[in-house]
Amino acid sequence: MRESVQNIIDEIGKVLLGKEPEIKLSLACLFANGHLLIEDLPGMGKTTLAHALAKVAGLQYQRVQFTSDMLPADVLGVSVFDASANQFSFHAGPVFTQVLLADEINRTTPKTQSALLEAMEERQVTVDGNTRPLPNPFFVIATQNPQSQMGTFPLPESQLDRFLMRISLGYPDQKAELALFKGGDSRRLIADLKTLVSPEALVETQNQIAQVQASDALLGYLQRLVHATRHDSQFAHGLSPRGALALLHAAKAWAYMHNRDYVIPEDIQAVLPSVVSHRVLAAGVPDSGQIEQLQQSVDILSVNG
């Protein structure tokens, strides 16, 4: 699995040009068994990324375009009375899949949003008193437009916490864009992508990542980082214990991807902005260097061992 990490990145890179760091982060998010929030303008390749990721990992893929008139049942599924069988049968919604692309999640009402977010957290769906587990692995890639746009329902902070990472893709650079123009249809290209991982292997990888070692010195550093977010007026909220654990887990996935079975501070730093920014900054406040500053101000080597 480890050996194929670079292959996976390269494979996805064929369709999402010049975005290797973001591909790596999203892969880490997948490996860490967390969900990913991509915040960007339309047409930046969010869908392509989600699609490619699913294809390469050999996972089922569903896409839901959220709109303001959508109801929870449209996501989770609905029980319909089957006259022939004389009983209710459950029609699974699009959430019953391995990779769900929840497009423009902030366009829908809070009710529908929370239904999805609950499913993401619980990894199960309860409809009409019946609890149904979601497939494993289960990976949600939600996208949202920047909140300055009209007619959106911004996700509250408590729900942003459900996403392990928040990234934004941004415009491609000059070279990548030229290549993009020359290349063919991205949908056809995605179909040509090779499947490099099996779902079983992915689950196995997720289990292995939980085994990655974090030494006392590293946990000390993590603690100092977390402590700093709580005592810095730049941040609206301190990092919660859940946020801290998420950071550690993401760092473990990053370490695993770099062929190490132990975490080093650089792993934490690599995932820090994407894991932490949506948890500690007030909604709507962009990350304008605060996280970078945090990273630079916390000493990696503790003073007292």
Contacts to other proteins by CB under 8 A: 213, 215, 217-218, 260-266, 269, 295-301, 303-305
Minimum separation from the CB atom of position 21 to other proteins (A): 15
CA-only gyration radius of the chain, Å: 20
Minimum separation from the CB atom of position 258 to other proteins (A): 10
Query: Which pair of tokens denotes residue 264?
Result: 């080093």
How many angstroms separate the CA atoms of 37 and 103, rounded? 10
Query: Smaller CB distance to other proteins: residue 139 or 254?
Result: 254
SS3 call for 62: strand
Of 135, 144, 132, nearest in space to 169 by CA:
144
Query: Smaller CB distance to other proteins: residue 282 or 301?
Result: 301
How many angstroms separate the CA atoms of 183 and 185, rounded? 7
Minimum separation from the CB atom of position 254 to other proteins (A): 13
Strand partners, 133: 124
Query: Smaller CB distance to other proteins: residue 105 or 225?
Result: 225
Minimum separation from the CB atom of position 13 to other proteins (A): 23
Minimum separation from the CB atom of position 169 to other proteins (A): 25
Residue 185 Rama label (left phi>0; alpha psi -120 to 50; beta) = beta
Query: Smaller CB distance to other proteins: residue 168 or 269?
Result: 269
For 144-201, the DSSP string reads E--TTSSS--PPPHHHHTT-SEEE------HHHHHHHHHS--HHHHHHHPPP---HHH
Minimum separation from the CB atom of position 300 to other proteins (A): 5
Query: Which pair of tokens denotes residue 51?
Result: 């699609």
Minimum separation from the CB atom of position 248 to other proteins (A): 13
Of 233, 247, 254, nearest in space to 278 by CA:
247
Query: Which pair of tokens denotes residue 267?
Result: 């792993």
Minimum separation from the CB atom of position 301 to other proteins (A): 6
> Taken in order 119, 125, 126, 128, is the CA torsion positive or negative?
positive
Query: Smaller CB distance to other proteins: residue 126 or 215?
Result: 215
How many angstroms separate the CA atoms of 252 and 259, rounded? 11
Query: Smaller CB distance to other proteins: residue 70 or 264?
Result: 264
Q: From the centroid of its chain, how far is CA 11? A: 19
Query: Smaller CB distance to other proteins: residue 43 or 305?
Result: 305
Residue 73 burial class via C-beta count within 10 angstroms: exposed 0-12, middle 13-18, buried 19 and up: middle
Query: Smaller CB distance to other proteins: residue 85 or 301?
Result: 301
